[in-house]
Amino acid sequence: MSKIAAVKTYPIIAKLKDVQRTAQESRADVELLLVEVITDDGIKGYGQVSSTPMGEIKKWVERFGEEIMGKDALARVAIWEQLLSMTSPRPNLGGLSRAARPQIMAAIGGIDMALWDIEGKAAKLPIFRLLGAENKPVFTYATGGYYMPGGKLTSCADELAGFVKNGFKAVKLKVGGATMAEEIERVKATRAAIGPDIRLKLDLNAAYDLPACIEFAKAVESSNIFWLEEPLHWYLQPADFARLAAATPIPLAHGEREMTRFTARDFMTVGGVRYMMFDATRYAGFTESLRVSHMADQLGVMITPHHSPELHCHLVAAFPRTGYAVESHGSHDRDPIWQGMYLDRAQTKDSYVTMNEKPGWGVEFDWKFINSHLAS
């Protein structure tokens, strides 16, 4: 039996070529916390956390590493439940900080992803094989249209048309950061640039309240929009999403910022969300993401995880009926860590991700790149 012998973290940071802004935030660099779990028989498993603040999450991974030391590395569900239980009060033992729950759930996710990698390597199988999936290409789309300082309003149209030229059959445009009139212009220009047959998704980054979002949806319906992603302000709940879903024929996508299957469930059953975007690298890990996906499959909701196509492709492949797509970066400048940290991974070409047969996540890291980009 493989037992957990060490838990290590590698906080990685890289500067962006240009500051990138969404309706929600702007940033000048990208961060990723790589989590390494080592067993007493030498198996190394790797998980990734794409949440922030990275320094706080790192501390929680290290704290949880002490809790799971010596435990069966293949008992990932038991470990997940043990760590989650620490977040709630128990007799004679208070729960962990309420204020730190997002960072705690991110840390649990990083450890969980590493344990999945260990399981695959111990079985000498890729994750998708553990899930009973077939090695078939997984559909992917490219995201762009970030607001760049000094850029012209409709430069997004040329950018996304470039993604299409490079083989993508679906693209996603960031919206919500300009006035509504300007956003409608951006959407129409992008549709004209990519042509009528390419799927056009819109990512609102929670920019609108309910009345404004209904107004926006009606204004862009003629541009044949595939979905509205994260359409409403962060504090609006499934009942508000249900009202939006009833007001527009454009499907709703949501879930990348949900931390558990319980809230994801409510957005699917009550909120009318038709594309579930739960992100295993942001919160809770692959174990919870798999639970969310089973629930989505039962409800007929499409599974389309947020980011990390080289990891989430394993999940989408496991659901032939409702596994829809993974998200990719349309531009090499979008995430220099993602571009530089691998020597090998699942490959993207012509709007499909092709998996390999390497065990675990099927990735090989460029440690020279990682070590040269470690945060101080």
> Can you give the CATH number for the domain in which 72 is found?
3.30.390.10
Average pLDDT estimate for 351-364: 98
Model confidence at 221: pLDDT above 80:
yes
State residue 275 phi and psi, 5-degree precision.
Answer: -130, 115
Average pLDDT estimate for 76-90: 95
pLDDT at 302: 98
82 and 8 within one domain: yes
Average pLDDT estimate for 5-28: 94
Q: Chain-wide mean pLDDT for the chain?
A: 97
Model confidence at 100: pLDDT above 80:
yes
Of all residues in the chain, what percent carry a pLDDT higher than 70?
A: 100
83 and 110 within one domain: yes
Model confidence at 93: pLDDT above 80:
no
Quick one: tokens of 226?
């595939």
75 and 195 within one domain: no
194 and 100 within one domain: no
3-state secondary structure at position 67 = helix
- The parent domain of residue 86 ranges over 4-124+368-372
Q: What is the dihedral of CA 332, 149, 189, 162, to 10 degrees?
A: -20
Burial of 187 (0-12, 13-18, 19+ CB in 10 A): buried
Model confidence at 300: pLDDT above 80:
yes
142 and 263 within one domain: yes
Which pLDDT band, with edges at 50, 70 and 90, does 94 fall under?
Answer: confident
Which pLDDT band, with edges at 50, 70 and 90, does 91 fall under?
Answer: confident
Which pLDDT band, with edges at 50, 70 and 90, does 107 fall under?
Answer: very high
174 and 92 within one domain: no
Dmax over CA atoms of the chain, in Å, equals 63
For residues 330 and 171, give the distance between their C-alpha atoms in angstroms, rounded to a whole number. 8
359 and 332 within one domain: yes
Number of domains in the chain: 2
168 and 206 within one domain: yes
289 and 331 within one domain: yes
Query: Residue 234's domain is classified under what CATH number?
Result: 3.20.20.120
Question: 112-168 pLDDT, tens per residue?
Answer: 999 999 999 999 999 999 999 999 999 999 999 999 888 899 999 999 999 999 999
226 and 284 within one domain: yes
Of all residues in the chain, what percent carry a pLDDT higher than 90?
A: 94
pLDDT at 365: 98
Distance (Å) of CA 48 to CA 31, 225, 284, 318, 329: 11, 32, 11, 20, 17
Question: 270-279 pLDDT, tens per residue?
Answer: 999 999 999 9
Task: Say if residues 172 and 144 touch (Cβ distance below 8 Å).
Answer: yes
pLDDT at 217: 98
231 and 341 within one domain: yes
pLDDT at 95: 86
For residues 295 and 312, give the distance between their C-alpha atoms in angstroms, rounded to a whole number. 17
Cβ-based neighbour number of residue 101 at 10 Å? 15
Among 180, 202, 188, residue whose Cα is nearest residue 154? 188
State residue 334 phi and psi, 5-degree precision.
Answer: -65, -40
CA end-to-end span of the chain, whole Å?
A: 36
Question: 224-271 pLDDT, tens per residue?
Answer: 999 999 999 999 999 999 999 999 999 999 999 999 999 999 999 999
114 and 138 within one domain: no
Model confidence at 304: pLDDT above 90:
yes
